[in-house]
Amino acid sequence: MVDRMLVTEDGKKIVARKAIKELLNNDSIIRLCGASDALSAQLVENAGFESIWVSSFESHASCRLPDADILTVSDYSQICNKIADRVSLPIIMDGDAGGGSPINTIRMVREYEKNGASGICIEDNLYPKRCSFYGGVKRKLAEPKDHAMKIMAACDNRISNDFFIIARTEALIVGNGVDDALLRANAYADAGADAILVHHKGDSPAPIFEFSKRFKRLPLVCVPTTYNTVTEKELYKNGYSVVIYANCGIRATVKAVKEILSRIAETGTLSSAEHLLVDMKEIFELIGLEDLQRNEKKYSA
């Protein structure tokens, strides 16, 4: 539950979240885990991760939508606001392609930051983006100079310099190879990015390790969804400072809920699935029932 608070001069309380830049000084890999609402974000915090990743994939899936830039800045701002109100970990927003132009990127960055985000990741897919793992869809990357302008716009217009801006390249996703990923990463570094995410959907981390051997300018971020046997120690040893477990939560939820609901429907009794459910007391703890009880006692006339 949120307990680290600062009080501004006008008496307003705000959450004192650690900056991602501060976490980078800890000599260990920073672990982000995907969440799309406050409850899943609290589970991420309870599990011991260092930061929350508000995933485009998860957020769209929660609305039963494909991950294709369908949700808006307002949609994501509401998600971020609700998480920030209840969880104290830093929040990194999946900014997709940053909108249609740098002008859109400016609003996106400022709205997310005002709603409690600690950073954003902006990818060089053309807007509207398509999920990196979708097959059979049109997929083109922005010109490096054009995406660099979005990164520059984000950096120039963030409210605080602690707001962490990750530039993500999809060069390996579209088969352009490490040389193109390096060209793009250098352009985004020149534009002011705080870190580079090089995305990859093969089953081996070899391409991202080749990239990290040749790129030393900024902290590196990866998303090992498909090369999932790689360990955090291996990633850190090979130059990666941040790892994102992007969609485990939504995949786990679908598997568990599907199994439990099917069992109840087939047997006609809740008792057949009771052993697969958490006790109601655990839900009460997660949602902060004690806060309600304490406040009712404190503020009752």
Give the β-pairing of 13-15 and 5-7.
antiparallel
Beta pairing partners, 141: 125
Q: How far is CA 94 from the centre of its chain?
A: 5
Catalytic position from the list 67, 69, 94, 96: 67
Nearest to 34 by CA among 17, 16, 5, 57: 57
DSSP string, 202-252: SS-SHHHHHHHHH--SS-EEE--SSSTT--HHHHHHTTEEEEEE-SHHHHH
67 as an active site residue: the answer is yes
State how far the Cα of 145 lies from the Cα of 180, in Å rounded to an integer.
13
Beta pairing partners, 125: 141
Alpha-helical segments (H) within 68-101: 73-86
- The answer for residues whose C-beta is within 8 angstroms of residue 80's C-beta and 6 or more apart is 54, 91, 93, 112, 115, 116, 117
Specify whether the CB–CB gap between 34 and 246 falls below 8 A: yes
User: What residues are annotated to the active site?
Assistant: 67
